[in-house]
A and B are shown apart, each in its own frame.
Chain A
Amino acid sequence: MYPYLRRGETLRRDVNWFGLAGGAAIICLIFISFFVPWWKLVVGDGLVTANVSPLYTAFDFVGYWFTIPLLWALNFGSVLSMAAGGVAMLIYSIYPEKSYSKNLLGFGYKKPLISVLLFVVILVVLTQTVQVLLGLSVPLVGSATSTLPQSMTYGTVVRVLITANFQWPFYLATVAAALCIAGNFYHKKITLVSPPAPASSPTTAKEVASPAQ
């Protein structure tokens, strides 16, 4: 397994700590996202609430919770994809010198980055679309008082306080993405410093462990 090991050398295995932390962060993020959203929108004093994340999305309309099947499917797909990415990152990080490690790294490290970027882009597009189509100002971060279109309110003027904010799992996702990217860069360092196999008469790890009598 380690043909370059010689008598007296210690068995040392490189671990990609950035990748390991990134993989663990992804797995934690998946569980946390079921309970705390990445982005939360509140209309009025909690009259309407939207808990949004790439992994779980639910809406509360005056005390009645529901989700949308298409969103649920996309969320479930994201959960599976992120879980696979997290596991791939963990396996890769423990065995970064294996022949398949580069495949695992390539598969796993982009997952949180893509999730974070896509999530922000979709939020921006959705809030802008609502503003253009309905004339309703929905803040991405912070509070705004918006007037509902009178076509929706039968001539009555209805002003609503809308508050939206990113929640801490979003920042955890950003940290996970950063760790995975750092893991990708660190992988190059690991592959650069790995000692080459000796050209002739290698001493196997087994021989080191059980020297000839």
Chain B
Amino acid sequence: MRVIGIFLVLLNIITLVGPVLGVILAYQDNLKGIVIPPQVENVLSGNSFTGGKIALPQFVEATPDSAGKTVTLVFEFTNPFTYDLMVKSISADVECSLHGFKLGHASLVEPANIPAGATVDLSMRCDWTQKAIDHCHAEHKGAARLDAKLVNIIIEVSGITIQSDQEYPINVPIS
């Protein structure tokens, strides 16, 4: 019985220590890899994404409606992950770049699913306030386009809410 007892104690030790020793031997040239393997480093550095690095959406165009009360902003976004992203909402205030005057509020027209590695157009609709229309008539009389910026940007994507204090420049037509 003593032999069985000793065998079981040895079995305990071998099963717990053996695999750890094995991994240490396998990674003896790169001990850091035991905790942070090369694959994880790749993930953290973004090298294993399908489309390269994460990039901000690119502003494509702005189209005003016939009444001149709203404008549709189109952005192009590439999903760099090997994972479908669901953009539930985007909202931002639109300000005149020159005067810092608030022109209106923009929000995503409809939630968008972006498949892994795909590039899609995201449309945001901006409603001009009456004060914004008055501002354009007073301060930008005769101008066809206006340099503006998106501020207080809030993006909700796949359960993560990102609130940025960065400004995003856009150029919109005014009538």
A103 to B158, CA, bound (A): 53
Query: For the complex, is B16 an interface residue (Cβ under 8 Å from A)?
Result: yes
Contact with A along B10-36 (1 / 0, CB 8 A): 011001111110110011000001111
A4 to B11, CA, bound (A): 36
B residues 1-59 in Cβ contact with A at 8 Å? 1, 4-5, 8, 11-12, 15-20, 22-23, 26-27, 33-37, 39-40, 43, 48-49
Tell whether, in the assembled complex, residue B43 and residue A69 are in contact, meaning their CB atoms are under 8 Å apart.
no
Number of B interface residues, CB 8 Å? 41
Tell whether, in the assembled complex, residue B4 and residue A77 are in contact, meaning their CB atoms are under 8 Å apart.
no
Tell whether, in the assembled complex, residue A47 and residue B162 are in contact, meaning their CB atoms are under 8 Å apart.
no
* Residues of chain B with a CB closer than 8 A to A73's CB: 19-20, 22-23
The segment from B61-69, B78-86, B136-144 found at the interface with A is B78-86
In chain A, what residue has the closest Cβ to B6?
Answer: A103
**Main SS at interface, chain A:** mixed
Name the distance in Å between A132's Cβ and chain B's nearest Cβ. 20
Query: For the complex, is A62 an interface residue (Cβ under 8 Å from B)?
Result: yes
Task: For B1, give its contact among A46, A72, A103 (CB under 8 Å).
Answer: A103
A80 to B10, CA, bound (A): 13
Tell whether, in the assembled complex, residue B4 and residue A76 are in contact, meaning their CB atoms are under 8 Å apart.
no
Query: For the complex, is B129 an interface residue (Cβ under 8 Å from A)?
Result: no
Query: For the complex, is A44 an interface residue (Cβ under 8 Å from B)?
Result: yes
Tell whether, in the assembled complex, residue A160 and residue B35 are in contact, meaning their CB atoms are under 8 Å apart.
no
Tell whether, in the assembled complex, residue A157 and residue B162 are in contact, meaning their CB atoms are under 8 Å apart.
yes
Query: For the complex, is B163 an interface residue (Cβ under 8 Å from A)?
Result: yes
Tell whether, in the assembled complex, residue A45 and residue B86 are in contact, meaning their CB atoms are under 8 Å apart.
yes
Tell whether, in the assembled complex, residue A68 and residue B19 are in contact, meaning their CB atoms are under 8 Å apart.
no
Tell whether, in the assembled complex, residue A72 and residue B165 are in contact, meaning their CB atoms are under 8 Å apart.
no
In chain B, what residue has the closest Cβ to A162?
Answer: B159
Tell whether, in the assembled complex, residue B158 and residue A45 are in contact, meaning their CB atoms are under 8 Å apart.
yes
Query: For the complex, is A161 an interface residue (Cβ under 8 Å from B)?
Result: yes
Tell whether, in the assembled complex, residue B163 and residue A66 are in contact, meaning their CB atoms are under 8 Å apart.
no
In chain A, what residue has the closest Cβ to B83?
Answer: A63
- 5 new A-B contacts, CB < 8 A, other than A47-B83, A77-B16, are A74-B19, A77-B17, A102-B1, A155-B165, A158-B163
Which chain B residues have a beta carbon within 8 Å of chain A's beta carbons? Answer: 1, 4-5, 8, 11-12, 15-20, 22-23, 26-27, 33-37, 39-40, 43, 48-49, 81-83, 86, 116, 157-166
Which chain A residues have a beta carbon within 8 Å of chain B's beta carbons? Answer: 43-47, 61-64, 66, 68-70, 72-74, 76-77, 80-81, 84, 88, 99-100, 102-104, 106-107, 155-161
